[in-house]
Amino acid sequence: MTQKKILFLTGTRADFGKIKSLIQILESHKNFEVFVFVTGMHLQQEYGYTLLEIERCNFSNVYTFENFTHETTMDLTLAKTIEGLSGYIKEIKPDMIVVHGDRVETLAGAIVGSLNNILVAHIEGGEISGTVDELIRHSVSKLSHIHYVSNKLARKRLMQMGEIAESIRIIGSPDVDVMFSENLPDLQKVKTYYEIEFDTYAIAMFHPVTTEFSQMRNYAQQFVKAILNNDRNYIIVYPNNDLGSNIILEEIFSLKGNSRFRLIPSLRFEYFLTLLKNASFIIGNSSAGIREAPYYGVPVINIGTRQNNRAEDSKILNVDYSYQEITQALQETQFISKGNAVREFGDGNSANKFLESLEKLDIWKLDKQKQFRDLV
| Residues of the chain scoring pLDDT < 70 | 71-72, 130, 308-314, 337, 339-343
- Please calculate the CA angle 337-342-347 and round it to the nearest 5 degrees: 140
What pLDDT shows up at residue 131?
73
* β-sheet with 146-149: strand ranges across: 62-64, 32-38, 4-10, 96-100, 119-123, 146-149, 168-170
What confidence tens digit (pLDDT) does each residue in 155-168 have?
999 999 999 999 99
Helix (H, G, I), strand (E, B) or coil at 326: helix
- Does domain 4-180+348-364 correspond to CATH entry 3.40.50.2000? yes
User: What integer pLDDT is reported at residue 183 of this predicted model?
Assistant: 85
Query: In the chain, which segments carry CATH 3.40.50.2000?
Result: 4-180+348-364, 187-335
Please give the order of strands across the beta sheet that includes 300-303: 261-264, 234-237, 202-205, 282-284, 300-303, 316-319
Q: How far is CA 115 from CA 36, 105, 140, 288, 310, in A?
A: 20, 15, 13, 33, 31
Distances in whole angstroms, Cα of residue 251 to Cα of each of 206, 246, 267, 310: 11, 9, 20, 27
Give the integer Cα–Cα distance in Å for 171 and 121: 13
Domain 187-335 in CATH 3.30.420.40: no
The gap between the terminal CA atoms of the chain, to the nearest Å, is 36
Q: What are the b/e assignments for 158-193, b being 16+ CB within 10 Å? A: beebebbeebbbbbbbbbbbbbeeeebbeeeebbee
So what's the pLDDT on residue 45? 86
Q: Are strands 282-284 and 202-205 parallel, antiparallel or unpaired?
A: parallel
Q: Please give the helix or strand (H or E) that residue 84 lies within, else none.
A: helix 74-92
pLDDT for res 13: 87
pLDDT digits (tens, 9 = 90+) for 228-266: 999 999 999 999 888 889 999 999 999 999 999 999 999
